[in-house]
Chains A and B, each alone.
Chain A
């Protein structure tokens, strides 16, 4: 996830060539020979990514231009340098001739050499300046593009229905915003300009070589296909080994995760040795795959180098013979050698960048897929805002299913008057979320209607509808920030006194004041610096501050010590006064006092009525209620009716 200072850190750097390349831009070869992810629709995704860059097309044109200029200036260098060498060589040869002929020797032509040196310096400085400017501008272009991409993804997430989130893990979604977007950023920042300069270098070098000696050029170009052959042959093999390595690594990670998360069980059942020997077996297989993958991909560099050296030797020999024949100069040979070497790097880079770009497009495709997900139905233009909701809630003939082939809620009718309590009871957890989902319009119902104060919730602005509800769930959600901010989350414009009053009402004031920084105590990332019960109190305070007409509550049972539990109960009871409340109930008292009990099983509402009616009905509820006596002996005192959520 980090972007290190240069290419060498991020994508593992490849080995240096035996002799150095001239091409600008640090290169990276780690990805070579690894299987690249492929995008399903390469062209479409590429075009779409380019559209993201289009607001900065002017800057991009400048980058392109500067990159070409910078590369061109570098490419001209060797030829001019060669001219200098020739001048020196000819001067020396002339002097040798002069000595043999007994003529006086002359000094080398330092005026010409001086001019050449100055010209070269100018060229190199200009090239460096253009190169830097190009990268400077590109940093802005790349990061701003990625900024826009992240912003769009975040905005998109805000518009997606909950259905989308429930079907995916957080890790999956996060990875698109971080890994995939990062991948795009790195490629834009580094690989794009590298690709441009590599191509310019290759074309430019060929042209320069042609101007020196077409015949030698042809000889050098003959080595080109060799690069291709080596790369494809090796890449094919190394991809197999990398795949094997990846597979074994996956198995190994799985085993480690299994054993470490189950450490207690491994120890309790005394299976440490078994676990270790299993690990060693996988580890050995991983080793066998890993070294082959490393070796085969590592061999690419020496082979490439060899081909490059082959070209070098050929140029040296043939070129030198040409010089003796007077067809070219010594400086030309020297320039040619440099050009031949300049070839190797960009060719390998281009092969590598092709891989990088493929995986980038695959990343971009995943991001775009997310951006294309169907959104929540927008609020109707004439949607209303309930000014002072009372809290009358009706469900009429409601049908709902998460998956079209599995019926869940069929023909549900509930009529709740202001201030009434609805207890939801049953052994499974699906019911709880389903009801929250429907009431708050996180999911759209398939048939029927849900009304608040007689208004169909689809005719109410989503924000307004949701503001009329308050939620206190067992999986408390608090964010990384101060306790004050967390309570104030209930209402944006709350004053300091209101926050404290809400905390007092929720019986949270006392424990908050015992914390070192009181209301300004910062909750850490997992909010693990306060207990589960205290978190629950904070969420109650948050709901108190929001002052909703309708409540959705979750009576917690586990993980709370008995004293805090009492506080939570009292706070909840106070909160429920005068409000319509849907309670995921665990306590018999709540259940018995509720106006309506919804009995849920396997996510479905199977019975509905009050305590007396349901007992008389002799169905599932009565069964549930009575079965405790068989389990726990004498019915004294009455044990709690457990609803497992």
Chain B
């Protein structure tokens, strides 16, 4: 939590001013009882109405001053806390955006969202509370003690007994009840779990006629939670009565010992009245701090979660001097002067270029962090311009991982991934990815219009480009049918579109980018059979001058690829065309057999 407060640094003047103002405000409210004591001891005792009114005016001025200080400090602390929240959020978000998939997966989407939103709000709220109250309470209780001390020293000794008693009471109650409240959260989670299971499994529960069993489970969790809640609340209920009692008894003690002091002529009556008010001021601040401390652990936990994100360095970074790869069509590498004949050199370069494949894996091995087995092991292949390379294999065979390495979402453990002969690690991520279009397994759409979503592929795309891409992706028809055509609003997560529609829109987004490399990660799975065929036929023309890699589950999708790579447990089990693989590759035959019945393959 404290570490997070480095983000408060820009606000230092505000914070100092705010603390000063709070200090003044505390002084003002401490000063009022003192003035009151004067009224009693001097005004009333001497029957001096003028003096009373004079002091009264002073009190009014002090009260107004206190209020102004308090308003001003509220103003400052609101700005500081909100500004602090804004800064932390901004840093957090920017940091997450630099994360590679590795860091991203390590946290998980859900928690990253929570950390950027709720956790920051939590910390921001506590910051406000600290600035407004936790600062106030010590100032006011210490100030109260000083004022009390000034009024009468010996009587201050009463606090030496009262405060420890109060502290002990609070600590004991907190110690007894906080674990119970922690337990309560666990039991509440348990109740939620049972409930959620009951909802997600409702068909199964009813189908197996197990409603009674489910109700029983729920009732157990419910009763358990209730028992715990009653116990916890009964202990926590001690807090207020006990603290009130301690404060009241202290007041009585002040009265008694004060009377003795007055009797001995050591103190005046006005001081006694002021003293009684200090009792409340001091002890109430004390209780307030204790209560606020309950908020701190939760915010501290949030702060730890936020720090964990901020402390994570993205492991994939751009090279210090990124190579600018030759763009295939126009800028060929400049031919340097050499002692060889320019013509021969040019020919050599040309042939080298011709032969260099657009995507090449050289003995690539890659493991996910913490995994025992590598996800990809010794992968080598080349995919050239104008070719379609398909990758097939079971779940966990490493198909999607392979595409992610081309995008450099992860870095290889050994070997290298090359684009036009240049290692992807030598390129800047921006320039690498600007040449690639990815259509992911899970279609992702963003809030905005359909056009916005397709244009996500290329910012400068014209309306005509977008329409053409939509047509190729076979999305034009349903777009035309939608209420506002291209301007139809996509709800968050694309929830107003079917799986197939989302998939077609993400294909359109990839097309509009006009990349050199297309990566399709099982991107046709949600399309019905006819649409799938139509999309692929249209794509074949569009991608004629690009390199295409397709990951697929269905044999039908990959059968006509120029090259099929069969992955099995992260290793290449075979490379070739459908016919070649049917002859040579056992794993491929097995996959085909699992999708078709035996007699059909034979």
Contact = CB atoms under 8 A, between A and B. Distances in A.
A208 interface: no
Given A147-B222, A254-B492, A562-B394, A628 B556 contact: yes
A7 B101 CA distance: 42
Contacts of A589: 596-597, 599-600
A36 interface: no
B256 A117 contact: yes
A354 interface: no
A100 B356 CA distance: 117
Given A158-B211, A272-B98, A256 B93 contact: yes
B139 to A, nearest CB: 11
B528 interface: yes
Contacts of A173: 199
Given A88-B269, A566-B594, A628-B556, A269 B242 contact: no
A46 to B, nearest CB: 23
Interface stretch (B227-235, B321-329, B461-469, B480-488): B227-235
A324 interface: yes
Interface in B251-279: 251-252, 255-256, 258-259, 262-263, 268-269, 272-273, 276-277
Contact of A588 (B199, B537, B597): B597
A638 B600 contact: yes
B185 A2 contact: yes
B300 to A, nearest CB: 13
Interface string B504-519: 0010010001000000
**Residues of B contacting A: mostly:** helix
B376 interface: no
Contacts of A566: 594
Interface string A7-21: 111001101101111
A276 B196 contact: no
Interface string A115-129: 011001100110111
B63 A5 contact: no
B560 interface: yes
B252 A124 contact: yes
A628 B596 CA distance: 14
Contacts of B93: 256, 259, 276, 279, 283
B137 interface: yes
Nearest to B111: A260
A5 B181 contact: yes
Contacts of A470: 207
B532 interface: yes
A287 B116 CA distance: 15
A640 B117 contact: no
A396 B467 CA distance: 48
B444 interface: yes
Interface in A242-291: 249, 252-272, 275-276, 279-280, 283-284, 286-287, 290-291
A91 B219 CA distance: 67
Contact of A85 (B132, B237, B245, B269): B269
B438 interface: yes
B239 A6 contact: yes
A157 B554 contact: no
Contacts of B210: 489, 492
B555 interface: yes
Interface in B16-75: 25-26, 28-29, 32, 35-36, 39-40, 43-45, 47-49, 52-53, 55-56, 59-60, 63-64, 66-67, 70-71, 74-75
B159 interface: no
B177 A132 contact: no
A630 B429 CA distance: 40
A316 interface: yes
A189 B39 CA distance: 44
Contacts of A1: 185, 188, 192
A469 B208 CA distance: 8
Given A2-B188, A337-B36, A546-B208, A139 B594 contact: no
Nearest to A561: B394
- Chain B contact-residue range equals 35 or more
A299 B74 contact: yes
Nearest to A21: B284
A264 B136 contact: no
Nearest to A532: B395
Contacts of B218: 151, 154
B112 interface: yes
A587 interface: yes
Contacts of B94: 276, 279
Contact of B85 (A138, A287, A436, A588): A287
Nearest to B284: A20
B29 A18 contact: yes
Interface in A207-227: none
Nearest to A268: B438
Interface in A600-645: 623-624, 627-628, 630-633, 637-642, 644
B262 A263 contact: no
A121 B249 contact: yes
Interface stretch (A306-314, A397-405, A450-458, A576-584): A306-314
A313 B226 contact: no
A26 B529 contact: no
A509 interface: no
B430 interface: yes
A419 interface: no
A303 B25 CA distance: 13
B256 A299 contact: no
Given A15-B132, A19-B29, A252-B117, A275 B97 contact: yes
A69 interface: no
Interface string B183-216: 0110010011101111111111011111101110
Interface stretch (A105-113, A496-504, A513-521): A105-113
Given A259-B97, A287-B86, A471-B207, A93 B45 contact: yes
Interface in B400-458: 407, 409, 429-430, 433-434, 436-438, 440, 444-447, 456-457
Contact of A20 (B128, B211, B281): B281
Contacts of A290: 82, 85-86, 124
Given A147-B226, A313-B60, A321 B49 contact: yes
Contacts of B77: 294, 298
Contact of B56 (A265, A306, A317): A317
Contacts of B225: 147
Contact of B78 (A12, A117, A291): A291
B259 to A, nearest CB: 5
Contacts of A292: 78
Contacts of A151: 218-219, 222
Interface in A479-494: 479-480, 489-490, 492
Contacts of B433: 267-270
Interface in B129-168: 129, 132-133, 136-137, 140
Given A294-B82, A469-B207, A562-B594, A301 B70 contact: yes
A158 B518 CA distance: 50
Contacts of B171: none
Interface stretch (B289-297, B344-352, B362-370, B471-479): B289-297
- Max chain B Cβ within 10 angstroms of own Cβ: one of A93, A261, A473: A261
B178 interface: yes
Given A2-B188, A267-B409, 17 more contacts: A3-B233, A74-B244, A91-B263, A113-B256, A131-B244, A269-B513, A302-B71, A310-B63, A313-B59, A317-B56, A320-B43, A324-B44, A525-B193, A561-B394, A624-B529, A638-B600, A640-B595
4 smallest CB-CB distances across A and B, nearest first, come from A561-B394, A589-B597, A20-B284, A631-B533
20 contacts: A18-B25, A110-B263, A132-B242, A150-B222, A154-B215, A252-B117, A260-B109, A265-B444, A309-B66, A324-B47, A324-B48, A337-B277, A428-B528, A440-B203, A462-B206, A467-B208, A525-B193, A569-B594, A623-B530, A640-B556
